[in-house]
Amino acid sequence: MKTKGLATNGARARLAKYAPPQSCARLPDEDYRAIRFYRHPNVRVLDDVAHDKIEIEKGVIVIMCSDGDRFLGGLLSIAGLFATKHRWTTRIASWMKRTSLLFIWAFLYIYPRLHMMSWHAGAHRLVKNSRTNLPGRATDKDLMAEIMAAIELKQIYQIVILDHCKCGKLAKHEFTVEEQFHDIVTARDRILAEYEKVRTAEAARLATNGDMEAAANVPKLKVICMCQVDYGKRPGWWWRRRLRTYHFSTKQLVAVDAAKVDGKRHPKIADVIAQYLAA
């Protein structure tokens, strides 16, 4: 497949490690180019996974798509973060993170607390009036209520929004990658806002009962966004599917939006945008 746009001449080899070449045209050309843009080292909306961003030993509520072709890969990506958090295991286990052996090791021996919540299109269903929700339904409110209930039942205060590209549900409703990523930000912000209401009410209740120490220590919620990109698989059973998991930076996406309005605020990002639009 001939690469165009951002990857030219010597830059093509350097950029390959940020977005590997896809096989079997798994992603539409426009989506693939968008992924390369968001992976660009000057943009970094999709960044390399950093173990220190998730305290996975404290438990994680994972909101993800229920796509059966992606579900196990999603589970093992989260489990792999825990299993490879120690440097001596990283090189040994990195190539087998998505195998059943690591699944057994991570869940039975190390046993991270993972509470899975899966709906088609995952956290995109939290967006009010989303095209993924049926008209006249309160799907977004129902899913939000389930998330708040999960926090209360499990006493877990970390949420991972695990998105994937390309999601079949989003493809059906003709979402662009840009729309998909903005939905992730909207879902994250809505979860944080809803939990803050719950947290404030609980703190007020405890303060009214005279327990000021407990009121001051009502846990805060942490929401981490991640995205899996499926670059496809070469023909033949011996080839491993190119599936990459990235941390999704809401801060960098805001910076990209700002650069589109005023390039002087983020000149490096604006330069990449210009290359992308000219391609």
Q: What is the pLDDT of residues 98-132, one digit of tens each?
A: 555 555 555 545 566 788 898 889 999 999 999 99
Q: Is residue 270 part of a domain?
A: no
| pLDDT of res. 95 | 53
Strand (E) or helix (H) holding 39: helix 29-39
CA distances from 80 to 37, 63, 94, 100, 250 (A): 26, 17, 8, 11, 23
Q: What are phi and psi of 244, to 5 degrees?
A: -115, 140
Write the pLDDT tens digit of every residue in 231-251: 877 666 555 667 788 999 999
Residue 157 counted as domain residue: yes
Flag whether 59 is in a domain.
yes
Average confidence (pLDDT) over 77-96: 54
C-alpha 15/C-alpha 232 separation (Å) is 18
Per the structure, the complete domain to which residue 191 belongs is given by: 45-248
**What percent of the chain is predicted at pLDDT more than 90?**
42
What is d(CA 202, CA 178) in angstroms, rounded to the nearest whole number?
A: 37
In a domain, 31, yes or no: no
| Chain segment 130-172, per-residue pLDDT in tens | 999 998 888 999 999 999 999 999 999 999 999 988 888 999 9
DSSP for 147-159 reads HHHHHHHH---EE
CA distance 42 to 58: 33
d(CA 88, CA 66): 33
- Number of domains within the chain: 1
With a CB cutoff of 8 Å and minimum separation 6, the contacts of 1 are 21, 22, 25
Spatial separation of the C-alpha atoms in residues 107 and 6, rounded to whole Å: 40
With respect to residue 56, please indicate whether it lies within any of the assigned structural domains: yes
User: Quick check: is 207 in a domain?
Assistant: yes
φ/ψ of 135, rounded to 5, equals -60, 140
Inside any domain, residue 27: no
- The reported pLDDT for the residue numbered 203 is 95
Q: 5: left (phi > 0), else alpha (psi -120 to 50), else beta? A: left
Pick from 140, 104, 106: which is nearest to 121 by CA? 140
pTM of the predicted model as reported, rounded to 2 decimal places: 0.80
177-198 pLDDT tens trace: 999 999 999 999 999 999 999 9
190 in any annotated domain: yes
Answer whether residue 254 shows pLDDT above 50: yes
CB 81: neighbour CB atoms within 10 A?
22
> Which among 259, 245, 253 has a CA at the least distance from the CA of 54?
245
Mean per-residue pLDDT over the chain, rounded: 80
